[in-house]
Structure 1
Amino acid sequence: MRKKLINEKIYLLILLLPLSVACKKLVTIPPPKHSISTEQMFETDNQAEGALAGIYSVMINGASTTQTQSAALNSWSAGLVSLLGSLSGGDYYNANLSGDLDFYEHATNNLKIQGRARSDAMWTTAYSSIYGANSIVEGVAASTSSKLSAKARKELTAEAKLVRAMAYFYLVNFYGDVPLVLTVNFHETIAMEKTPAAKVYDQVISDLKDAWQNLRDDFSTGKGERVRPNKWAAAALLSRVYLYTKNYTGAYEMASEVIRQQQIFELETDLNKSFLATSKEAIWQLKQTTQNTRMGNATPYGMQTVTSSVRIANFRLTDQLLNTFEAGDKRRDNWVAQTNNSEAGQAPVISWFPAKYKLGNHNFTSTSPKEYFMVLRLAELFLVRAEAQAHGAGDGLSAAIDDLNVIRHRAGLEDLPESLSNDELFLAIEKERQLELFAEWGHRWFDLKRTGRATVVLPEIPMKAPWRGDFQLLYPIPDKEIQENGMLIQNPGYF
Structure 2
Amino acid sequence: MKNILYIFVSLFIITSCESFLEETPVNIITTDQVIVDAESAETAVLGIYSRLQIGDGGYGNHNINLPGVASDEMVHSGSFPTIAEIDDNSMSSNNATTDEIWEEHYTGIFQSNNVLEILDQNPDLPGFTEGSRATIIGQARFLRALFHFNLVNMYGDVPLATTTDLETLSSISRTNSSEVISFVISEARQAASELENAELGNDVQYRANFWAAKALEARALLYSGDVSAAGSVANEIIESGEFSLADNYSDLFQPGSVTNDEIIFSIFFSNADQNGNAFQHLPSGRFEYAVSPQLQAALFADENDSRADLIALNEGDALGRYHFNKYTDIGTGTDGVIVFRLAEMYLIRAEANLGTAAAVADINTLRARAGAAPISNATLDAVLNERFVELYAEGHRWFDLIRTNNAVPVMSGINSGFTIDDTLFPVPNRDILQNPNLSQNSGY
| Superposition TM-score, scaled by structure 2 size | 0.91
2:349 corresponds to 1:385: yes
Is 2:418 the counterpart of 1:436?
A: no
Work out the CA distance in 2 between the residues paired with 1:117 and 1:400. Answer: 42
The answer on whether the counterparts of 1:211 and 1:234 sit within 8 Å (CA) in structure 2 is yes
Matches within 5 A, 1:319-398: 319-325=293-299, 326-341=301-316, 349-360=319-330, 364-365=331-332, 369=334, 371-390=335-354, 397-398=356-357
Distance 1:19 1:135 in 2: 15
CA contact (8 A) 2:51 2:104 kept: no
AA matched with 2:73 = D
Name the structure 2 match of 1:393: none
**Structure 2: any 5+ residue segments left out of the alignment?**
1-6
CA positional deviation for 1:167: 0.7
Matched, 1:139 2:118: yes
- In structure 2, what residue type is equivalent to 1:440? E
Measure, in 2, the Cα distance between the counterparts of 1:14 and 1:191. 20
Shift of 1:242: 0.7
Percent of counterpart pairs with the same letter?
28
Offset at residue 455 of structure 1 (A): 1.1
The answer (yes or no) to whether the contact 1:313–1:339 under 8 Å persists in 2 is no
Counterparts of 1:158-237 in structure 2, within 5 Å, are 158-216=138-196, 221-224=200-203, 226-237=205-216
Work out whether residues 206 and 258 of structure 2, in 8 Å CA contact, stay in contact via their aligned partners in 1: no
Kept in 2, the 8 Å contact 1:239–1:254? The answer is: yes
Letter in 1 for 2:363: L
> Which stretch of the first structure deviates more once superposed, 164-173 or 283-292?
283-292
Q: Is the 8 A contact 1:88 1:109 kept in 2?
A: yes
In structure 2, relative to structure 1, the CA distance for the partners of 1:313 and 1:191 (3 Å cut) is: same
Task: Indicate how the Cα distance of structure 1 residues 28 and 341 shifts in structure 2: closer, same or farther if over 3 A, else same.
Answer: same
1:241 Cα deviation after fit? 0.6
Tell me the amino acid that sits aligned with residue 444 of structure 1.
Answer: R
- The offset of 1:100, in angstroms, is 2.2
1:258-286: CA deviation from partner (whole Å, max 9, x where unpaired): 11233x31111222211322322111111
**Structure 2 CA distance for aligned equivalents of residues 478 and 224 of structure 1:** 35
User: What is the aligned partner in structure 2 of residue 405 from structure 1?
Assistant: 364
Name which of 290, 300, 303 aligns with 2:276. Answer: 300
| Alignment partner of 1:271 is 2:249 | yes
Q: Output the CA distance in 1 between the equivalents of 2:71 and 2:114.
A: 34
Q: Which runs of 5+ in 1 are unaligned?
A: 1-11, 63-71, 343-347, 391-395
Q: Give, in whole Å, the separation in 2 of the partners of 1:430 and 1:108.
A: 23
Provide the rounded CA distance (Å) in 1 between the counterparts of 2:116 and 2:190: 12
| Equivalent-residue separation in structure 2 for 1:228 and 1:89 (angstroms) | 29
1:184 Cα deviation from its structure 2 partner: 0.5
- 1:470 maps to which of 420, 424, 427: 420
- Structure 2 distance, partners of 1:243, 1:389, is 13
> How many pairs align?
433
Per-residue CA shift, 1:58-112, capped at 9, x if unaligned? 421x3xxxxxxxxx2x12232211111001112111213xx42211111111111
CA deviations over 1:252-310 (Å, ceiling 9, x no partner):
12111211233x31111222211322322111111123137xx6xxx2222211345xx
Give the drift of 1:19.
7.3
For residues 329 and 117 of structure 1, the distance between their equivalents in structure 2, rounded to whole angstroms, comes to: 41
Counterpart pick for 1:283 among 256, 260, 264: 264
**Secondary structure in structure 2 of the residue aligned to 1:376:** strand
User: Deviation string for 1:178-222 (max 9, x for gaps)?
Assistant: 11110101122110111111111121111101111110467x515
How far apart are residue 485 of structure 1 and its match?
0.5
Asked if 1 retains the 8 angstrom alpha-carbon contact of 2:266 and 2:337, the reply is yes
Q: 1:291 to 1:330 in 2, by over 3 A?
A: same
* Distance across 2 between alignment mates of 1:107 and 1:51: 36
